[in-house]
Amino acid sequence: MNIPELETDSLRLRAWQESDIEPYINMCADAEVMRHLTGKPMTRQEGWRHAAYIIGHWQIRGYGHWALEHKDSGRFVGRLGFFNPEDWPGFEIGWAISRPFWRQGLAEEGARAALAYAFEEMGREDVISVINPENVASIALAEKLGERYRRDGEILGHKVSIYGMDKQDWLRTQQG
């Protein structure tokens, strides 16, 4: 499968490589990173399986989460991209950033590139974000990107808030 590569000033959004698995497992084992995603750190086996799930999503749906590579250092930063597995509430943009890269604006930078790709290249009309309601940082980022609160829900036994934007909302954010 030909996975498109996107670049920003600081990031390369690219296909996953075997060398990404170890830093991804380490990121998933970090309780602070996983606090609002799964509620607890993942074991090594769970982290590996989750990486396989992410990689497999590309094969099944033709899109998914890219591995984020820091262009200056070549280091694995995290993951960012699109999900829409079975019984999901819609085409979702999501992100998870390794703690050494927090508060550097990288999730926003990558998300803006991914949203442009979704609306301009993929022809998507609507994008959501499924966010733990206690994750104030992700809520703030979703709102900064132009997403607005839509509703509460429950996914896999977890309460979530669903934010979203349509293509017209996104076009308005591009105009200033």
| pLDDT at residue 156 is higher than 90 | no
Mean pLDDT of the chain: 95
Identify the CATH assignment for 6-174 out of 3.40.630.30, 1.10.10.10, 3.30.565.10, 3.40.50.2000.
Answer: 3.40.630.30
pLDDT at 39: 80
86-117: pLDDT as tens digits = 989 999 999 999 999 999 999 999 999 999 99
Burial 8-35 (b: 16+ CB within 10 A, else e): bebbbbbebeeebbeebbebbeeeebbe
pLDDT digits (tens, 9 = 90+) for 122-149: 999 999 999 999 999 999 999 999 999 9
The three-state secondary structure class of 155 is strand
